[in-house]
Chain A
Amino acid sequence: MTALLVLKGIDTFYGPVQVHFGLGMEVRQGQIVCLLGGNASGKSTTMKIILGLLRPRAGSIFFEAHDLAALSTPQIIRAGIGSVPEARRLFSAMTVRENLLMGAFARSDRAEIARDLERMLELFPRVRQRLTSRAGTLSGGEQQMVAMARALMGRPKLICMDEPTMGLSPLFVDRVLELIQAVNKEGVTIFMVEQNASLALAIAHYAYVLQAGRIILQGEAKDLARDPRIRAAYLGGETEPAA
């Protein structure tokens, strides 16, 4: 299997505060890869640098043959990466339908877009009921579903998800996890950040554990699921820089 996304030697800063220390990882084609880590360990920041929303001070990021450091966010999206941002970030004043279609912004195949929209509504019947509502009025969980569907609408090769199950009720957590697996079976590579280690490891192929901006553990998900150090990593507590 070839590596689709490769990060090497990444150092990231917010002003004077360093968040990543020589971060390196790989996401292989066709896999579900998850990044675990406690609060404030730098998970969301990893997403931001992959999507070009924040530039690392050192290191390289390659997606297929693209050097992501040289591309702007819209170009990165067009290269085939989809995103489910942390806290969803829906367009709150636009309707749910418009939000979904925004997901297909980089595409121009109208008929296929319409078909994908229909497919999303089948996956998320609840979303169908609220199709013409403004996205800002949806409940937390409904918004999460729309955000997922919106990312899928772009037909990306790789989807980056930041805590896709946050705030979802158990049934929807299951549904989302099943969906992630289903999407993955269709050949889409998934890179996700999760707090809920046991759930994430249940569906992932490979996992990295981030602590205080460093990868401290990595391996096949089924091995990690049994690893006592996984729990230790979570018990390591928070590593907030003193402001």
Chain B
Amino acid sequence: MGSWLDYTINGLIIGNIYALVAVGLALIFGVSNLINFAQGSVYAVGAYIGWTCFTYLHTPLAVTALIVVVACAGLGVAIERIGLRPLAGAARIAPLLATIGISLVLDQLLQIVFTPDPRALTSPLPNWRISVGGGTIGALDLLIAATGIVSAAVLYGFLRFTKLGWAVRATAQDRDAARQMGVNTDAVNMTVFAIASALGGLSGLLVGMYFNHIDPAMGFQATLKGVVAQVIGGMGNVPGAIFGSLLLGLTESYGVAIFGSSYRNLFSFALLLLILVLRPNGLFASARSTPPEPMTGSFVTPNRPVRVPRWAIVAAVVIAAAVPLIPAIPYVLQVLTNAWLFAMLAISLTLVAGTLGQISLGHASLLLIGAYASALFALDSHWPVWASIPAAGIVTALLGTALIAPSFRLRSHYVSIATLGIGEIVGLVILNWESLTRGPMGVTNIPPLQVGNIELDNPRAAYWITLGILVLLAMMQTRLLRSHLGRIFRAIRDDDVAARAHGISLGRYKAIAFAFGGFAAGISGGIAAHQYSYINNETFTSTVSISALTMVILGGMGNVLGAILGAVALTALPEMFRGTAEYRMLIYGVALLLLVRFRPQGILGTT
């Protein structure tokens, strides 16, 4: 009994920590309908500023907190200026992608400046603790709780009851209309970002002190948890965010109590999916409401895809096929082979995110499924590689579709969150299902590519096989897009309500698109497994998902050729600089930002 009380207290304390991030996220979502993926990065920056102050300036806590608040507020203003304001007329999803870019940039800068190694951030608070049940509560716990509750209460009041608060919400819903009421919308957005970021930085400082541990990767995890908490409480709902955080903290704490600590995150993401499927508008939302009709006069950025003549495509394929014949360094072949693998992932994503309009943030998990499926078929079932790879494609198509199917009725941002959650879950299941996947050890000694007895373990053969499969997949997808299915996918993307009114069943066609996309991604993962010969649950992480998304946007959403072009450009270019992983992700972040800002339709245009 006593230990349950402990777990409860622990859950509430952890929940409180999540609340600090979730409140900032909710505030920004409430204002700009934007999931600010940079919120976690600001939180990490706050923690590092605090660490710098403590370590080099030896400032007391109050002064440190003030510095963090001011610096992060400034950072918030900068994020608004770069990530939001210039995108006012762009598609709804554009600012979301911009914040993903900003977050990549910030996280990588932290790694470059402070190294990836964790640091200790020791709390200067007095060390007294009250004991409650079997556990204790300290000064820092109380400070964290108070910060969360007070800031939420103030913000809630601000949004509901003050004129500026109304202006903030009005701006969120219709910027042009708000300006026509005399609201200076730029100033409003800037204020909100400053407040939310100040809060984010402060929470980074407090949480860093709480765990006495900070590292540059803490930001992404914080964003994830904050988003989960917010979905539970209802997006943009400030009190809901706090409730969601506490519920999340408790669920994790009890989950850990029953199953052990490696299950912590699995529980949070399972809870996320459960809520998304059962109550997509959060626990407090009213049950059913019909989606409002879109207003007249809304225009999309006019854009006409670049028409690439057939002969140019054929020529490009021929040239690509001839590359191994010129005595190039094997290194080039290896980079290009990798690019073809990425291109398979990219055409899969461009179908789902571009043509069907379901922005997936967890696409790398399909690679993982494909890689594990092919590796295990080959090792455990002793299938030949030429059979295990297509089988992996089919398994990925089926499993991927089955995982996403419960979320088929979600729209826009919620789809992205669901796919993000599913992506994390796949990784965590692989980590924990040791009897099948060998757990954290990973799978070793995966046989190389071979057909019959002919080993294709040389770079040239691997190159040709990968290129050939890519060309085949791309041709199939192009054919698909020209059929009635392409038309149906685009109709669902443009207006799913109108699509249903004409007899289109969303479930069936989303399933077809995800299955086709899953097949391509699964094949890519399968080939990769046999090339790498070793895989584990971190071979393809969420950064791969984001990279793929960047490629797809670079090429032009929905554009098959564009996706391949994007994959080649973003795989090959960073190699030329031969930078380390940090610099590579930095380049992706900057590329994503520039693209969203200056060429949202990508190189070849959206289709």
Residues of A that sit less than 8 Å from B by CB: 15, 44, 51, 53, 72-74, 77-78, 83, 85-94, 98, 101-103, 105-106, 136-137, 150, 154, 243
Contacts and interface: CB of A to CB of B under 8 A. Distances in A.
A89 B166 CA distance: 16
Contacts of A105: 163, 166-167, 181-183
B295 A77 contact: no
A85 B178 CA distance: 11
B181 A106 contact: yes
A211 B176 CA distance: 26
B297 A86 contact: yes
B297 A77 contact: no
B435 interface: no
B490 interface: no
Given A44-B297, A92-B173, A93-B173, A15 B302 contact: yes
B173 A91 contact: yes
13 contacts: A77-B181, A86-B296, A87-B297, A89-B174, A91-B173, A94-B169, A94-B173, A98-B166, A102-B170, A102-B178, A105-B166, A105-B181, A154-B181
B174 A87 contact: no
B173 A103 contact: no
Contacts of B296: 86-87
A91 B184 contact: no
A89 B181 contact: no
B180 interface: yes
Contact of A87 (B163, B167, B289, B295): B295
Contact of A77 (B163, B174, B180): B180
B179 A91 contact: no
Contacts of B184: 72, 74
Contact of B180 (A85, A87, A92, A93): A85
Given A91-B170, A91-B174, A102-B183, 14 more contacts: A73-B179, A77-B180, A77-B182, A85-B180, A86-B296, A87-B297, A89-B180, A90-B177, A91-B173, A92-B292, A102-B170, A102-B181, A105-B181, A150-B181
A41 to B, nearest CB: 14
Interface string B163-196: 1001101101110111111111100000000000
A194 B202 CA distance: 54
A53 B177 contact: no
Contact of B302 (A92, A106, A243): A243
Contacts of B177: 85, 89-91
Nearest to B172: A93
Nearest to A82: B180
Interface in B282-320: 289, 292, 295-297, 302
A87 B302 CA distance: 21
Given A74-B183, A136-B292, A93 B169 contact: yes
- 9 nearest A-B residue pairs (beta carbon): A106-B182, A77-B182, A89-B177, A73-B179, A87-B296, A83-B180, A87-B295, A91-B173, A74-B184
B170 A74 contact: no
A74 B188 CA distance: 12
Contacts of B166: 94, 98, 101-102, 105
Contacts of B176: 53, 73, 85, 89
A94 B170 contact: yes
B179 A53 contact: yes
A116 B66 CA distance: 44
A106 B178 CA distance: 11
Contacts of B180: 51, 53, 73, 77, 83, 85, 89
B132 to A, nearest CB: 41
B181 A103 contact: yes
B295 to A, nearest CB: 5
A92 B163 CA distance: 17
A67 to B, nearest CB: 18
A43 B596 CA distance: 31
Contacts of A44: 297
Contacts of B292: 92, 136-137
Contacts of B295: 87-89
A209 B181 CA distance: 28
A29 B101 CA distance: 51
Highest count of chain A CB atoms <10 Å: which of B167, B172, B176: B176
Nearest to A88: B295
B296 to A, nearest CB: 4
Contacts of A91: 169-170, 173-174, 177-178
A47 B404 CA distance: 45
A2 B181 CA distance: 26
A154 B182 contact: yes
Contacts of B170: 91, 94, 102
A74 B169 CA distance: 16
Contacts of A90: 174, 177
Contacts of A106: 181-182
Contact of A74 (B174, B179, B289): B179
Nearest to A156: B182
A44 B176 CA distance: 14
Contacts of A85: 176-177, 180
Nearest to A77: B182
A72 B179 CA distance: 9
Contacts of B297: 44, 86-87
Nearest to A94: B169
Contacts of B179: 53, 72-74, 77
Highest count of chain A CB atoms <10 Å: which of B166, B167, B181, B302: B181
B387 to A, nearest CB: 50
Contacts of B178: 91, 102
A78 B169 CA distance: 20
A113 to B, nearest CB: 10
Contacts of B302: 15, 243
A86 B298 CA distance: 11
A64 B150 CA distance: 48
B298 to A, nearest CB: 8
A91 B182 CA distance: 14
A55 B185 CA distance: 18
Nearest to A162: B297
